[in-house]
Amino acid sequence: MIKELKLPKMSDTMDTGQITKWLVKEGDFIKKGDPIFEMQTDKVNLEVEALEEGVLLKIVGKEGEDIPVGQVIAYLGDEGDKVSDIPAQPQEGQEKKQETEAKTEDVQMPKPSSAPDIQPEPTPDIPSMEKPKGDRIFISPRARALAQREKVDYSAIKGTGPMGEIIERDIKEYLAKSALQQPAPSKEQAVPSTAAQGQRIEMTGMRKVIAERMLASVAAAPHIYLTADIDMTQCRDMRTKINDSLADKGIKISYNDIIIKACALALKEYPYINSTLKDGAIILQDRINIGVAVSLADGLIVPVVRDTDKKTIVEISKEIKELAGKAREGKLMPDEFSGGTFTVSNLGMFDITQFTAIINQPESAILAVGAIKDTFVPVDGRPVVKPMMKVTLSCDHRVIDGAVGAQFLKFVKSMLENPLLML
């Protein structure tokens, strides 16, 4: 029996994936659990294992291409099955007929038909555009981001995705065919030959996804930024004592571990910071899962420490080190970088004093942490040098008012300036 092998959805935010390398070839017999291909998602690179066994009859998912979640990438069969037994597929670019009336997840394949006579056209037409039924327009996140970036009015573009959804390919075809109808630039418009010719690097994989996610976040969520100065004197002293007492066990906590614990306790007190806006409603999350931004060679990833409020500083430290190591080795599993409710991004190790971060959607806030600097501060009318740190909270103003964000920061500040309260 012929079985379809489809691109799996590895995270809640994943719309497409890219097969970077097939680990098997056509004709191979695949057992359940065998690694069959390497895939790059919007979050991480990973090996995908077979969920079924059979002979790999045909590979249709090409390496290096963006493939929508759920699209067929290969066919498996039993011993004796042939490639000719695979059902005919519509040609690339041909509109796929959707059986919208059937209440089933099975895709009905269109019956082969003779090709109609096609009259030559002098110039290509812009893709078919029809007004969608109803007020709601179905468009994938990647297509929406591309349309916004290229300033395309997608309200009248006819989607070719499931249930008539507008997908990224529809926007690209619209842009490509529209460009062909534009008049060639005149000599006055031509770029002078003396113009700088820099190196062109295509945005692919993780870098491309980060760009799209950040653009979508800024476009969707009105950000408000709140900054606080925190005296890290007692935090520094407590960290030194903890590290000295645990040195024989090879345990060393960082300032970031302590900051994350402080945020977890603050999120319990101010649940709106630990919320998500969904379908016009604010969802107060029942768990506190803090994501920690980790820099990679080709971008960044945010592994998640689950139930952070229930863990000690030492437990948080161990888990972060383990997750960060797996992230840099490309070995994170999907459940280790999904489900976050709040994010901490720390650039203090790069000697950055202060910065603002973009919210990691669908979360409602993110904390940007700067370096600890010896700074003169007034104490009883006299200048005293103290280790000071600036933190900036970015909030989705649709969900979080300035006063709530300020109270959250005040709580974080009180925890870090009196860290024994966290033990």
Q: Are residues 241 and 314 in the same domain?
A: yes
Residue 182's pLDDT is what? 58
pLDDT bucket at 6, cuts 50 / 70 / 90: very high
Is the same domain home to 134 and 238? no
Q: What is the pLDDT of residue 136?
A: 66
Number of folded domains that form the chain: 3
pLDDT (0 to 100) of residue 36: 92
The residue behind tokens 């291909």 is 37
Give the span between the Cα atoms of 316 and 254, in whole angstroms: 10
- Note whether 174 and 255 are same-domain residues: no
Same domain, yes or no: 45 and 176: no
pLDDT single digits (tens) 363-409: 999 999 999 999 999 999 999 999 999 999 999 999 999 999 999 99
Contact predicate 400/273, CB 8 Å: yes
The predicted pLDDT at position 129 comes to 42
Residue appearing with tokens 């000690």: 312
The reply to whether 397 belongs to the active site is yes
Rounded to an integer, the average pLDDT of 208-234 is 94
- Tens digit of pLDDT for each residue in 295-354? 887 788 899 999 999 999 999 999 999 999 988 887 888 889 999 999 999 999 999 999
Please check whether residues 25 and 59 belong to one and the same domain: yes
Kindly indicate the confidence band of residue 92, based on its pLDDT and cuts at 50, 70 and 90: very low
Same domain, 322 and 344: yes
User: What CA–CA distance (Å, rounded) separates 423 from 374?
Assistant: 26
SS (H, E, C) 384-398: EEEEEEEEEEEEECC
The boundaries of the domain holding residue 416 are 223-422
| Residue recorded with tokens 């619209």 | 174
Point out the domain boundary residue: 85, 109, 136: 85
Residue among 129, 420, 120 at smallest CA distance from 265: 420
- Are residues 153 and 52 both part of a single domain? no
Check whether residue 307 and residue 246 sit in a common domain.
yes
Note if the bond before 362 is cis, omega within 30 degrees.
Answer: yes
Please tell me whether residues 34 and 139 are part of one structural domain.
no
Where residue 410 sits, what CATH number does that domain have? 3.30.559.10
Q: Rounded mean pLDDT of 282-294?
A: 97
CATH value at residue 155: 4.10.320.10
Among 397, 349, 401, 342, smallest CA distance to 366 is for 342
Give the span between the Cα atoms of 49 and 37, in whole angstroms: 7
What pLDDT sits at residue 297?
78
In angstroms, the CA 258 to CA 323 distance is 17
Range scoring the smallest mean pLDDT among 121-135, 255-269, 327-341? 121-135
What the block records as the tokens of 324 is 């960060």
Q: How far is CA 211 from the centre of its chain?
A: 9
Reported pTM: 0.67
Asked whether residue 3 carries a pLDDT value surpassing 60, the answer given is yes
β partners of residue 68: 16
Please report whether residue 122 resides in a domain.
no
